[in-house]
Structure 1
Amino acid sequence: MTPRTKGILPKRSLRPRETMTAVSQLRMYTIQEGRMGEWLLGWTRGVLPLRRKFGFQVDGAWVVEGENMFVWVLTYDGPDGFEARDAAYYSSPERASLTPDPAPLIEKAETWFMRAALSE
């Protein structure tokens, strides 16, 4: 049986990557039971706009129905590279002052860097 997912994004249209410098990361979070609504509120109002401000593209985000799981794909295509920009995001005063901060609601986080398997 395949788990059903409920998509909450993307807000902008998906576009093919123009360069080979784009790096994407798949993130899967297990959220504390019964707190997905609270998680989504903090993520959509705080994390999402701040990620975009830092130059990241959120390719999509989903809630796995019947599970406490939130899945999203994050891409960065800038000159400083994904890891450096991610570090700048986490060390920023804006990230430190996010209210509500959804991070404490994550029970488990799994991340993988990915590369495109299909060429457009």
Structure 2
Amino acid sequence: MPSKDFCPCGSGETYENCCGRYIEGKALAPTAEALMRSRFTAYVKGNVDYLVETDFHEVDVEATKAWMEEARFFRLEILKTYKGKALDKKGRVEFKAHYRTPEGQERVHHELSDFEKYKGRWYYSGGLAAD
């Protein structure tokens, strides 16, 4: 029987019906926003492999693991999506990722993330911190 666990990305869907299918390799994220949400979920779940797999650039795995330990993400806000639809080749997602530090302080990471579609698959291609 499917789990009733809601997806950490905040879509209101279950993990299995939302980001889980992308993270577990059952489907490819159809849009830049779907990839953004699934990457956030991968941070929440500690899935470094998915982050490496969906990044256009080489990923510093140790630094990524350290960031996951430092930032316990608990809420995602999608502020705006620029392009990044199924037929686009590029897209940008502005978001705020809310997290807690190991000391329990709440913080917000505000970013403009860029995505590119290559051979039918969306990849994270870089980001700029906002604010």
Q: Does the alignment reach a TM-score above 0.5?
A: no
TM-score scaled to structure 1, two decimals? 0.33
